[in-house]
Amino acid sequence: MRAVLSKAAGGPDSLVVEEVMDPTPKAGEVVIEVKAIGINYPDTLIIEDKYQFRPERPFSPGAEVAGVVDAVGEGVKGVFKGDRVIAVPGWGGLVERLAVPASSLIPMPDGMSFEEAAALTMTYGTSYYALKDRAKLQPGETLLVLGAAGGVGAAAVELGKAMGARVVAAASTNDKVEFALELGADNGLIYPSGPMDKAAQKSLSGELKLATGRDGADVVYDAVGGDYAEPALRAMDWNGRYLVVGFPAGIPSLPLNLTLLKSVSVIGVFWGAAVARDPKAHAANMAELMQLWTDGKIKPRVSRTYPLEEAHEAIKALGDRQAMGKIVVVTEG
């Protein structure tokens, strides 16, 4: 089978496509014939040894896949060859066949495409865990989403609306803000690209406060970091919850006196670790997300698809922060 491999730390151009041995399922495992692979920001980090986990090389990036069960290992019950499923291995997904624990599978709803399925779990899983379990977002509250057109940001916009919040979408271009408004955001704001000095940060804070309303945001979903973090924190309401989701613009330094003055909570969101620590809560959240999809309240937007041979281009496109919605790699052209 074909596999996209990282043999040495480096950028997307360091990846190679090679023929490797097909996997066979061990006891408790199934082998999936992979149809689609979602590309996520951690894929850009893990191949450069900049992620929380460092797999032994050679390894395949690709954290989430959708496909069809091709073989079932000993002792597996309730899963059958031909089942349409989703899996989130963390890495290893940019392959034609993948062995995973049967207990980790998520059934695909009827009518869901493989591309949609590969675009749903990590972004919506992260955002649902962030908004529901970490921020405890309530109907009628105001949610500010930074990076609102990216994978997790777009999911946060849709989920915020589904949960009854007023959603303000912030992004770096007019096209991205328009995209977020199409997803259902109530208001949008274009923020500057690149580093900001203190005067620019102060100006952005004022604009964010105007966009979110007189009292500011109850919840900030920060998938950007960098110089955008402090202005967003300053634009928050009393008892606000600031969600730390990602740092493509750099790891920010926050003045903690602001959290005291506004009684704001700064809350980390590490979805992958939460899944490992509480599989039952994760399974319940996944079931709720699938129901939201069935009810038409969420719909993953796949902006681009790439063949397996061009997986490096897919990761590069995501790393350049030009994508709107989700990028997916497919194994069949």
Residue 322 has pLDDT above 90, yes or no: no
Q: Per-residue pLDDT for 319 more than 90?
A: no
Quote the pLDDT of residue 102. 96
d(C-alpha 42, C-alpha 153), whole Å: 15
Does residue 66 sit in helix, strand or coil?
strand
Of the candidates 44, 1, 48, 5, which has an alpha carbon nearest to the alpha carbon of residue 322? 44
Considering just the CA atoms, what is the radius of gyration of the chain in Å? 20
pLDDT tier at 321, thresholds 50, 70, 90: confident
Amino acid identity, position 66: A
The share of the chain scoring above pLDDT 70, in percent, equals 100
Residue with tokens 């949610």: 143
Predicted confidence (pLDDT) at residue 214 exceeds the cutoff of 90: no
Supply the pLDDT for residue 311: 97
Distance CA 233, CA 262 (A): 9
Map out the domains of the chain as residue ranges. Answer: 2-108+301-330, 122-272
- List C-alpha distances in Å: 303 to 4, 33, 154, 294, 324: 21, 23, 12, 21, 6
d(CA 174, CA 156): 19
DSSP H or E stretch at residue 232: helix 229-234
The confidence score (pLDDT) of residue 194 equals 85
Nearest-10 Cα torsion for 56, 61, 66, 70: -40
Which of the following CATH numbers is that of domain 122-272: 3.40.640.10, 2.30.42.10, 3.40.50.720, 3.30.450.70? 3.40.50.720
Sign of CA dihedral 165, 166, 172, 176: positive
**pLDDT band at 333, cuts 50/70/90?**
low
Please say if the pLDDT value at position 110 is more than 80. yes
What tens digit of pLDDT does each residue of 222-266 get?
999 999 999 999 999 999 999 999 998 999 999 999 999 999 999
pTM of the model: 0.92
Q: Which residue has the higher pLDDT, 201 or 321?
A: 201
17 CB contacts (<8 Å, ≥6 apart)? 2, 3, 4, 5, 308, 309, 311
**Encoding tokens for residue 31?**
């082998």
Task: Name residues whose C-beta falls within 8 Å of residue 296's C-beta, 6 or more positions apart in sequence.
Answer: none
pLDDT at 52: 82
Which tokens go with 175?
A: 């096209």
| Digit-coded pLDDT (tens) for 28-87 | 999 999 999 999 989 999 999 988 889 999 999 999 999 999 999 999 999 999 999 999
Distance, in Å, from the CA atom of 237 to the CA atom of 262, rounded to the nearest integer, reads: 7
Domain 2-108+301-330 fold is Quinone Oxidoreductase; Chain A, domain 1 (3.90.180)
- Among residues 270, 239, 278, 236, which one has the least CA distance to residue 136? 239
For β-strands 29-39 and 97-101, DSSP reports them as: antiparallel
Asked if 123 contacts 223 with a C-beta cutoff of 8 angstroms, the reply is no
Strands (E) located in the chain? 2-5, 16-19, 29-39, 64-72, 84-87, 97-101, 106-107, 142-146, 166-171, 187-190, 217-222, 236-244, 265-268, 302-307, 326-330
Average pLDDT, the chain: 95
DSSP three-state, residue 303: strand
Contacts of 43 (CB under 8 A, 6+ apart): 61, 62, 63, 315, 318
